[in-house]
Amino acid sequence: MPLFRTILVADDEPSIRHILTLVLTDRGYDVRAVSDGDEALRELAARDYDVLLCDVRMPKKHGLVVLREALAAHPGLTVVVMSAYGSQEQALEAVAGGAFDYVQKPFKPDEIVFVLRKAEERERLLRENRRLKEASLPSAPEGHILGASSSLQAVLRQVSRLAPVDTTVLISGESGTGKELIARELHSRSPRAAMPFVAVNCGAFPAGLIESELFGHAKGAFTDARTAKRGLFAEADGGTLFLDEVGELPLAAQVKLLRVLQEGEIRPVGENRVEKVDVRVVAATLRDLGRLVEKGEFREDLYYRLNVVNLRVPPLRERSDDVPLLARTFISRFNRQLNRDPPIQGLAPEAESLLTAYAWPGNVRELENAMERAVLLADGPHILPSNLPDRLWAARTPGPVGGPARVALQEGGDLSLKRAIRELEESYIRAALRKTKGNRTRAAELLDISHRALLYKIKEFGIDPDAEAEQG
C-alpha cells in the first residue's frame, strides 16, 4: 500500500489529467485534477494533499510560481514538476525551488509512478530519521521499558507476541504506570516501526474539536476553519495511533472511530469523500470501560472492537524490585539535564530502603519527580533520606525503637520522624537567617547546604528571610 494517499494533478491538457487520474487511481491513490494554477492553489487550501503533480505552462499562474506558493503554504507537500518545453535550466530552477523531481513530457505513466515511489522512499527515510532522533528514552536490552520484575516481564512477553500483528490492543493501568511506553514498544517492535507513531490524549480536547483533530476537516467546515487540516489518523497512516484516555471520547466521535476500525476509512469534517487509511490503533484507559458501557456512556460495539486484547500495566507497588533500577536511571538523566557537577553517584542505602518501601500511588511518574527533586537538593555524592519528599517518611512504618525514642514512646511523646526532621530543618534555617541578617548565601554556608537547596527549603517552609533578619 502506498505511503502517499492523496494526489492533486494540475495540468491544462485534458488528456494528461485523464490518463494520470486513471493510472494513479488504479495504483491506489486518491486523485483530483484541476486545469490551472489558481485552481490548484485553491484546491490545496481547501483539502490536504500529499503530492502535487504540476505542469509548468498553465493558464492564470505559471507552474513555478504555483510551486513556490504551494510550498510556502504547505511545507510538507511533495511537488513533482512536469513540462513539454523544459530545459536543464528550468529543471534546476524547479528543484532549487523545492520540487522533488522534474519530469520531461512526453512521458509514460509508469515514469510518474516510479517518481512517486522514489518520493515515498525518501519520506520513509525522513520519518525514520525523526523517529530515531526522538527515541531518547532510557533503553534496556529489550527496548525502552526498564525493569526485571516478573509482572513487568509478563507484560513484555505479551508485547512480543502482539507486536508483529495488527490486532487492536487496549492498555489498562493506573496513571503514571507507563501505558504510552508500552504502546511505543508495540510500535517499535512491529513491521510499522519505520512509520509514524502518533499519540493523542482524547481528554485534552473539547468535545467539539476532537473529531477535527482525529479525522481532519475541510476549509470552511466550521467557524475559524480557514484552511484544510490533516487529521491525526492521516498523520499516522502506515503506522500506529495511540488513543490515550479513550474513555473520554464523546459518543459522536466514538461512532466515527468504530467506522475507521471496521472499514479502514475516515471522513474529514465538512467533506463528502472518504479517505482510506492504514493505521493500527492502540488505546489506553484509566477508567473502567465496561462500567461506562453499562451507564450508556461508551458504545458497546466499540468497546469490544478496542478490547480485542487487554494489556494491564502493573503499578509500581507490584514491582518494587524495579524501583532502585528506575531511580538510578532517573538520577543519571537528571545529572545531565540539570548539569550536576560533580554528578550524583547514586542512592545512600537508607534512601534506597525508603524508596523500596513506599507504595508510589503516582507510580513511575511520581518516582521520576522525586528523583528530580532529590538531584536538585543533594549536596553530597549520594541521595540521602533527607533529600526525599516528606511523604516517603510519613508512609514508613516505624521499626524497633531505643534510646531517646524509647523514652519518648514510654512518655506518650510524638514519634513522627517526618515532623521531627521538618521542625529541625526549619528551626536551623530560621536560626541561620537570623544570624546572617537574612543573607541567604551566608546562611547556606553555615548550614552546609547549597544555595539552591536553601532557596527551595525557604519556599517549602514558607519562611520570610527579611522577617527572620529583623528578629536577629
The predicted-structure confidence for 35-67, as pLDDT tens digits, reads as follows: 998 999 988 888 888 899 999 888 888 888 999
Tell me the pLDDT band of 87, cut-offs 50, 70 and 90. Answer: low
Q: Which residue has the cell 481547501?
A: 46
CA distance 260 to 282: 13
Residue 404 reports pLDDT greater than 70: no
Average pLDDT over residues 10-20: 91
Query: Whose CA is closest to 352, among 402, 400, 396?
Result: 396
Taking a C-beta distance cutoff of 8 angstroms, is the pair 417, 396 a contact? Answer: yes
Q: pTM for the complete prediction?
A: 0.59
Residue 403 reports pLDDT greater than 70: no
Q: Where are the alpha helices (DSSP H) in 27-106?
A: 37-46, 63-73, 88-96
| pLDDT score for 190 | 92
Radius of gyration of the chain (CA): 30
Query: Whose CA is closest to 241, among 252, 249, 250, 232?
Result: 232
Average pLDDT over residues 127-145: 52
CA distance 176 to 393: 21
Say what percent of the chain tops pLDDT 70. 87
Kindly write down the DSSP assignment for every residue of 191-257, as one continuous string: TTTTS-EEEEEGGGS-HHHHHHHHH-B-TTSSTT--S-B--HHHHTTTSEEEEETGGG--HHHHHHH
pLDDT tens track for 341-371 = 889 999 988 889 889 888 898 899 899 999 9
| pLDDT score for 211 | 84
Using DSSP's 3-state secondary structure scheme, residue 177 falls into: coil
Taking a C-beta distance cutoff of 8 angstroms, is the pair 145, 364 a contact? Answer: no
Tell me the pLDDT band of 397, cut-offs 50, 70 and 90. Answer: very low
Query: Whose CA is closest to 101, among 115, 117, 122?
Result: 115
Of 30 and 3, the one with more pLDDT = 30
Tell me, what amino acid is at 435?
Answer: K
| pLDDT score for 293 | 92
**E-assigned strand segments in 390-435:** none
Q: Which residues pair with 201 in a beta bridge?
A: 244
Q: Where are the alpha helices (DSSP H) in 81-178?
A: 88-96, 109-134, 150-162
Span of 147-161, 387-401, 427-441, 452-466 with lowest mean pLDDT:
387-401
Residue 126 reports pLDDT greater than 80: no
Average pLDDT over residues 16-23: 91
Q: What DSSP state is assigned to residue 472? A: -
Kindly write down the DSSP assignment for every residue of 35-48, as one continuous string: SSHHHHHHHHHHS-
Q: Which residue has the cell 451507564?
A: 295
Taking a C-beta distance cutoff of 8 angstroms, is the pair 199, 160 a contact? Answer: no
Taking a C-beta distance cutoff of 8 angstroms, is the pair 126, 134 a contact? Answer: no
pLDDT tens track for 101-115 = 888 888 888 888 888
pLDDT tens track for 310-321 = 999 999 999 988
Query: Whose CA is closest to 335, among 384, 378, 388?
Result: 378
With a CB cutoff of 8 Å and minimum separation 6, the contacts of 365 are 175, 176
Of 422 and 170, the one with more pLDDT = 170
Phi, psi of 393 (to 5 degrees): -70, -40
Residue 401 reports pLDDT greater than 50: no
Taking a C-beta distance cutoff of 8 angstroms, is the pair 151, 314 a contact? Answer: yes
Using DSSP's 3-state secondary structure scheme, residue 341 falls into: coil
Contacts 24+ apart (CB under 8 A), 435-441: 435/472, 436/469, 436/472, 437/469, 437/472, 438/465, 438/466, 438/468, 438/469, 438/472, 440/465
pLDDT tens track for 194-245 = 888 999 988 887 777 888 888 887 776 666 666 777 788 888 888 999 999 9
| pLDDT score for 73 | 85
Q: How distant, in Å, are the alpha carbons of 336, 446, 452 from that of 437?
A: 35, 13, 18
Phi, psi of 188 (to 5 degrees): -70, -25
CA distance 210 to 23: 35
CA dihedral 376, 380, 382, 388 (to 10 degrees): -40
Tell me, what amino acid is at 102?
Answer: Y
CA distance 180 to 187: 11
Mean of the per-residue pLDDT values of the chain: 83
Q: Which residues pair with 104 in a beta bridge?
A: 83
| pLDDT score for 129 | 62
Residue 469 reports pLDDT greater than 80: no
| pLDDT score for 300 | 93
* Number of neighbours of residue 289 by Cβ within 10 angstroms: 23
Tell me the pLDDT band of 325, cut-offs 50, 70 and 90. Answer: very high
Using DSSP's 3-state secondary structure scheme, residue 180 falls into: helix
